[in-house]
Homo-oligomer: A and B are copies of this chain.
């Protein structure tokens, strides 16, 4: 009943972390090779007819302008088109979405989507946000990413009684999950007390409410759904996707307790896939801050408006083996796995691919599959005004 015109037949990612010793090109190549090698029945890279490269930070730093050719040349795919996508925090999922459109267009049978980011080896004064802050009407007034998400937290606390303890539970859950994910940047259990007593960043967000700065890369190989069984007997299908926008400034937005871009993206994705939130077995969502995951529960329809705090408190988003009914961020999420901007969306796709195929690599955190649908989500960019939602399934009917 879904769209199901495009299949994912391979995914790859590298261990996220502080990768000072590896170049941008090395990250890109490692994720590329991991994706190629993951294809069950083997894969000749010469079959790739088009590529989409997601990467943000190079140009934001002013140090390089990594066009599509930086993928093409690095892996030797010079015959093919490679588009470079940059769209803030949802860059990875928008890169994947454009590759889906390319394959669905009928112009390309097989495509690659790859996201890569070096976030750590830059001087602090040249970090993305400090550069972006120059001349920006909000950021130049002392804003940092946490202070863009803090107002949503205070307003949600005010309107719905959401607590800092509930937010802390998101960090505790995701750091627990990260301990089970060998690709995660952080692999340490934390407690609610540790979150609440970590250094304050932007009220009410403490340090452990915030995701780290992380290097990483991830990739997916996509093909026409009717060709998928050439490559694997267990393809994952793209059931649907959506992408929404919003006005850029808080003063222009309708409500401070939700992300309208996410709601718009989710509405499109559910309609395209012909499913509802009840059909989702597992989700990887954009937990750049703990409050973001709580808002996502509501914006994605996992619970009612205002119920996000209770959703985490009641354990509904825990891993299946801990009794969760809709496991969210089994990979550790942005909070524990890390958030290398353009790599994040594709790493989420990889995690969900493994769950939908019940691969041994995720057996320690495998989501219980009921309906066979998984949801991927990013939200962000300037003004938190862009969101992408992707719905994957392990069955084509």
Judge if A106 is at the interface, Cβ distance under 8 Å.
Answer: yes
When distances are taken between beta carbons in the complex, the residues of chain B under 8 Å from A135 are: 63-64
Q: How far is the CA of A241 from the CA of B300 in the complex (A)?
A: 37
Return the chain B residue nearest A55 by Cβ. Answer: B86
B134 pairs with A62, CB closer than 8 A: yes
Q: How far is the CA of A3 from the CA of B106 in the complex (A)?
A: 10
A81 pairs with B383, CB closer than 8 A: no
By secondary structure, the A interface counts as mixed
Knowing A72-B245, A81-B245, A107-B101 touch, does A382 contact B64 (C-beta < 8 A)? yes
B131 pairs with A62, CB closer than 8 A: yes
**Interface positions of A (Cβ within 8 A of B):** 3, 5, 50, 56, 59-70, 72-73, 77-88, 94, 97-98, 100-102, 104-107, 128, 131-132, 134-136, 242-248, 252, 260-261, 264-265, 268, 272, 381-383, 385-386, 388
Contact pick for A243, options B59, B81, B87, B245, CB 8 Å: B81
Q: How far is the CA of A62 from the CA of B64 in the complex (A)?
A: 11
Identical copies in the complex? 2
A-B contact pairs, 14 of them (CB 8 A): A60-B62, A65-B381, A67-B386, A69-B385, A73-B385, A79-B245, A81-B388, A83-B243, A85-B85, A98-B98, A98-B101, A98-B102, A101-B105, A101-B107
Return the chain B residue nearest A384 by Cβ. Answer: B69
B73 pairs with A65, CB closer than 8 A: no
When distances are taken between beta carbons in the complex, the residues of chain B under 8 Å from A79 are: 244-245, 264
For residue A112, give the distance in angstroms from its CB to the closest CB of chain B: 13
8 closest Cβ pairs, A-B complex: A81-B243, A72-B245, A69-B385, A104-B105, A62-B62, A67-B381, A62-B131, A59-B59
A382 pairs with B245, CB closer than 8 A: no
When distances are taken between beta carbons in the complex, the residues of chain B under 8 Å from A244 are: 78-81
When distances are taken between beta carbons in the complex, the residues of chain B under 8 Å from A128 are: 65
Q: How far is the CA of A69 from the CA of B261 in the complex (A)?
A: 10
Knowing A61-B62, A381-B67 touch, does A94 contact B88 (C-beta < 8 A)? no
A70 pairs with B248, CB closer than 8 A: yes
When distances are taken between beta carbons in the complex, the residues of chain B under 8 Å from A83 are: 85, 87, 94, 97-98, 243
A385 pairs with B247, CB closer than 8 A: no
